[in-house]
Amino acid sequence: MITPYLTFNGNCKDALNFYRAVFHCDEPKVLPYGDYMPEGSKTPPELLRTWVMHAEMVICGTNVWFADEATPPKNGDNIKLTATAPTGKEATAIFDALCVGGEVTLPPTETFYSVFHAAVTDKFGVNWNVVAEEAPKQVEG
């Protein structure tokens, strides 16, 4: 099993709320830092108390972990998450929501395997592929 783990620098709660709205998820499990102070942290304790030490949320059937890191993470350009939706219409809705404040890296296109395949880097710097499980209609020839 591989568990996607997304890290942020103080805006993890915003990311959780955003993805919860995009993917219509249940309430995430969230554990704040509280009084815990990671060794070597340069983040002021009064700020860190409200940050997310660990959170879990099921997105499209996959348990995804989230956290605020005391050391600012770099955008992980080598990591992409793929959201698959049953239909092109549902894939379009997910893609459109992820595009708000984000940057399209692959405009929506129909392929031999899907009526919808697109990619976007969302407003939190997370790279997404969005693919519909719906196959294009085959033209009889």
Class of domain 1-72 as given by CATH: alpha beta
pLDDT value at residue 76? 60
Query: How far is the C-alpha of 112 from the C-alpha of 135, rounded, in Å?
Result: 7
pLDDT in tens, 117-140: 999 999 998 889 999 999 998 876
Domain definitions of the chain by residue range: 1-72, 75-140
Q: How confident is the model at residue 1 (pLDDT cuts 50, 70, 90)?
A: low
The Cα 106–Cα 121 span in angstroms is: 10
- Pick the residue with more confidence: 7 or 104? 104
Give the pLDDT of residue 9.
85
How confident is the model over 27-49, as pLDDT tens digits? 999 999 887 777 777 766 677 88
Cα–Cα dist 122/95, whole Å: 10
- Measured from the Cβ of residue 107, the count of other Cβ atoms closer than 10 Å reads 10
Distance CA(43)–CA(31), nearest Å, equals 18
Taking the C-alpha atoms of residue 139 and residue 141, their distance in angstroms, rounded to an integer, is: 6
At position 96, the amino acid (one-letter code) is D
1-72 and 75-140 have identical folds: no
Share of the chain above pLDDT 90, in %: 61
At residue 131, what are phi and psi to the nearest 5 degrees? Answer: -135, 135
Residues 68-98: tens digit of each pLDDT? 877 766 766 557 888 999 999 999 999 999 9
Encoded tokens for 137: 């209609």
Q: 75-140, what's its fold?
A: 3.30.720
